[in-house]
């Protein structure tokens, strides 16, 4: 398992290096006359007429040399000294750099390690400036006035006790429109009957479950799903949060009438227009026969985190372990929700929690489990768990509602999925991966997917492909929607649906890409080389072995045409440089892309190192 961890580090290094190389080549090209669009935060602040006149005295510290915590402390000192204008300008600048959302801590902060372990804190376990309750209230009021002036709102997430007065505040500015709303993508996985659909139904609809599946009825897309109670397709649900951090729920959130829950649910465009932040849940299938669908959702959806549902009464069994292994192999942060705690005997619950803890701490996972039992823990862990290899564990009941507030707060504070793209991918050429294709009456062919780089707008002339012969076809973007709300533009990291003009449904398939029209379309390949690690195979892999390859939105059978192993065979745990060939048609892949191939219980992990 140490080999797996080392191999993942190597994959990440190759992926990062190749990405930087590809973007560096584009950056070194002659600049176009078109100026890059203003970032969302700058547009919002400009729209709210935040004046930052250069003639006004500015804080004398160079902001670029300060950490985020030091800048926040400086702003609080400006407020304490009554320097309201300078504090407002500093808050506006900080919000602009953080896409219009920021968490502020007033007063001392507890030691994270002891907070996460639920240990008693001594006087030495606190950091930051100590403040009185009156000072905390005064600073809260000052921040609230500043946000009102620049068109935003504050939300007090947590307020501390008498011994160490403290407050955690969310500062948020509403987006200009749906096109600029930040989004967090979460993939929801787990074994059959672990409570995935029920939990999503409660989170997105607001009404608690009755213990017999009432909350999930609105989520099923097919008749057989409603009859069996099992999800077989990749479902998508969204949860919106207002500028004040309040979840957007339908009016029927407190009713017990099943028909009312179905009838009164909010449409996606209604949620999108009210939301300052959207959490998108990719509801994946739990049954073994739908593993291919689940894998495709994990690789093509580019989730920020994987939410693993574990039924407290059953434990981490069956496909839950498989899903956890895949998430770890793809190096996606994991969050665990232990469900059904209301119906599970105390000894069984203790056993399940012990089992989850043991697996997460094992050499194969090497995660630090953190049990979220307070609002303060939920707030702090939301900002650190991905970088520090921590795994938050929530104990929830969809019948009583216990623990659900911690989950909602945690989701509300997660960094947006497009944040990493916004640093370097927005000014690159357009590259859009197609993950879904539909034929919509009176509209035509509609594709859904993620912008890997660049920008796109309605009316752009584009090329899509490759087709079976490796060619690209030309079309025009008729219209565009984000979360079913009409938008005119989209940028890197966002998930949008595009309506293509005069294109037949049969001409488009999952795994294709969309780029701007040019004389030199992107290169497509039939063969490529990759560094791979065999995670599991019960015998030996040899030349001409065939498996299903998942590489981003690409899903196709590949054949091994050669390998550099001295014996010409690969077993579990072996590493090798392997040459693959697509069986049916060429695809667009790039050096540095991560790949996962499987066949039955066989699984392999790797990265593309050369195109042939």
Domain count across the chain = 4
Greatest alpha-carbon pair distance for the chain in Å reads: 75
pLDDT in tens, 86-131: 889 999 988 888 888 989 899 888 888 888 888 888 888 888 888 8
My answer on whether 489 and 603 are in the same domain is no
Domain boundary among 391, 417, 443: 417
> What's the pTM value of the predicted model, to 2 decimals?
0.86
Q: Mutual orientation of helices 133-149 and 84-97 as an angle, nearest 10°?
A: 70
| Helix H or strand E encompassing 72 | helix 68-80
My answer on whether 374 and 428 are in the same domain is no
Q: Nearest Cα to 332, choosing from 300, 354, 363?
A: 300
pLDDT in tens, 133-173: 898 999 999 999 999 999 999 999 998 877 889 999 999 99
Decide if 479 is inside a domain: yes
- Cα–Cα dist 451/495, whole Å: 7
* Beta carbons within 10 angstroms of residue 130's beta carbon: 12
Contact yes or no for 608/528 (Cβ under 8 A): yes
Mean pLDDT score, 201-215 = 76
My answer on whether 249 and 347 are in the same domain is yes
My answer on whether 211 and 311 are in the same domain is yes
My answer on whether 253 and 129 are in the same domain is no
Question: What is the band of 347 on the pLDDT scale with cuts at 50, 70, 90?
Answer: very high
My answer on whether 256 and 377 are in the same domain is yes
Q: Higher-confidence residue: 102 or 207?
A: 102
Domain boundary among 516, 539, 559: 516
How many helices and strands (H and E) does the chain possess? 16, 28
pLDDT in tens, 390-443: 999 999 998 899 999 999 999 999 998 877 776 668 888 999 999 999 999 999
Q: Nearest Cα to 574, choosing from 528, 533, 516?
A: 533
My answer on whether 327 and 346 are in the same domain is yes
**Domain of 509: which CATH number?**
2.40.30.10
Decide if 250 is inside a domain: yes
Decide if 7 is inside a domain: no
Instruction: Identify the sign of the CA torsion 213, 214, 219, 221.
Output: positive
Mean pLDDT score, 239-251 = 88
- Cα–Cα dist 494/455, whole Å: 10
**Domain of 231: which CATH number?**
3.40.50.300
Decide if 10 is inside a domain: no
Mean pLDDT score, 312-329 = 85
pLDDT at position 168: 93
pLDDT in tens, 454-506: 999 999 999 999 999 999 999 999 999 998 889 999 999 899 999 999 999 99
My answer on whether 217 and 340 are in the same domain is yes
Range of the domain at 285: 181-417
Domain boundary among 417, 444, 463: 417
In the predicted model, is pLDDT for residue 237 greater than 50?
A: yes
Decide if 511 is inside a domain: yes
My answer on whether 390 and 512 are in the same domain is no
What values do phi and psi take at 158, rounded to 5?
Answer: -155, 140
Decide if 1 is inside a domain: no
Burial level of 261, CB count in 10 A (0-12/13-18/19+)? buried
Decide if 19 is inside a domain: no
> Across all residues in the chain, what is the average pLDDT?
83
Decide if 34 is inside a domain: no
My answer on whether 292 and 397 are in the same domain is yes
Q: What is the DSSP string of 160-225?
A: --SSS-EEEEEEE---SSGGG--EEEEEEEESTTSSHHHHHHHHHH-PPP-SSSGGGTTT--SHHH
Question: What is the band of 207 on the pLDDT scale with cuts at 50, 70, 90?
Answer: confident
My answer on whether 436 and 412 are in the same domain is no
- Cα–Cα dist 259/218, whole Å: 9
My answer on whether 144 and 213 are in the same domain is no
């Amino acid at each position: 398992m140490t080999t797996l961890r080392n191999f993942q580090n190597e994959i990440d290094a190759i992926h990062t290096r190749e990405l930087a190389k590809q973007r560096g080549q584009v950056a070194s090209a002659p600049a176009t006359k078109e100026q890059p669009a203003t970032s969302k935060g700058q547009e919002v602040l400009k729209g709210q007429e935040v004046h930052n006149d250069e003639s006004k005295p500015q804080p004398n510290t160079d902001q670029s040399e300060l950490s985020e915590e030091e800048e926040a402390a400086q702003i609080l000192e400006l407020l304490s000294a009554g320097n309201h204008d300078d504090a407002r300008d500093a808050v506006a600048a900080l919000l602009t750099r953080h896409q219009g959302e920021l968490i502020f801590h007033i007063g001392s902060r507890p030691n994270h390690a002891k907070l996460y372990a639920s240990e008693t804190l001594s006087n030495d376990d606190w950091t930051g400036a100590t403040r009185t309750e009156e000072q905390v209230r005064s600073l809260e009021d000052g921040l609230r006035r500043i946000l009102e002036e620049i068109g935003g709102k504050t939300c007090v997430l947590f307020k501390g006790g008498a011994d160490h007065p403290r407050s955690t505040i969310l500062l948020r500015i509403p987006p200009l429109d749906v096109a600029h709303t930040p989004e967090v993508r979460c993939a929801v996985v787990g074994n059959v009957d672990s409570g995935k659909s029920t939990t999503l139904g409660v989170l997105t609809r607001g009404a608690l479950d009755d213990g017999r599946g009432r909350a999930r009825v609105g989520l099923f897309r097919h008749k057989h799903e409603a009859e069996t109670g099992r999800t077989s397709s990749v479902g998508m649900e969204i949860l919106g949060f207002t500028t004040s951090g309040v979840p957007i729920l339908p009016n029927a959130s407190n009713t017990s009438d099943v028909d009312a829950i179905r009838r009164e649910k909010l449409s996606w465009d209604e949620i999108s227009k009210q939301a300052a932040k959207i959490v998108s849940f990719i509801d994946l299938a739990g049954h073994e026969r739908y593993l291919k669908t689940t894998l495709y959702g994990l690789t093509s959806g580019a989730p920020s985190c994987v939410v693993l549902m574990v039924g407290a009464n059953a434990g981490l069994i069956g496909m839950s372990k498989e899903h956890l292994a895949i998430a770890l192999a793809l190096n996606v942060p994991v969050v665990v929700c232990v469900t059904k705690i209301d119906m599970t005997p105390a000894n069984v619950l203790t056993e399940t929690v012990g089992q989850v803890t043991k697996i997460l701490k094992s050499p194969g996972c090497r995660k630090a489990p953190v049990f979220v039992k307070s609002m303060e823990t939920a707030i702090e862990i939301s900002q650190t768990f991905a970088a520090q290899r921590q795994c938050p564990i929530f104990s929830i009941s969809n019948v009583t509602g216990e623990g659900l507030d911690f989950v909602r707060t945690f989701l509300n504070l997660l960094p947006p999925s497009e944040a990493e793209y916004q640093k370097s991918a927005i000014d690159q050429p357009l590259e859009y991966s197609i993950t879904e294709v539909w034929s919509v009456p009176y509209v035509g062919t509609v594709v859904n997917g993620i912008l890997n780089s660049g920008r796109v707008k309605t009316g752009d002339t584009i090329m899509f492909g490759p087709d079976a012969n490796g060619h690209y076809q030309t079309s025009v973007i008729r219209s565009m929607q984000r979360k079913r709300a009409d938008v005119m533009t989209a940028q890197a990291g966002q998930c949008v649906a595009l309506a293509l003009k005069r294109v037949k449904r049969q001409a488009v398939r999952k795994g294709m890409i969309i780029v701007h029209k040019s004389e030199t379309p992107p290169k497509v390949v039939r063969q490529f080389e990759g560094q791979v690690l065999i995670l599991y195979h019960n015998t030996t892999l040899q030349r001409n072995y065939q498996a299903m390859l998942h590489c981003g939105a690409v899903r196709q059978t590949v054949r091994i045409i050669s390998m550099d192993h001295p014996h010409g065979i690969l077993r579990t745990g072996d590493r090798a440089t392997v040459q693959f060939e697509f069986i049916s048609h060429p695809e667009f892949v790039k050096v540095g892309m991560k790949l996962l191939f499987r066949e039955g219980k066989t699984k392999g992990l790797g990265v593309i190192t050369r195109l042939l």
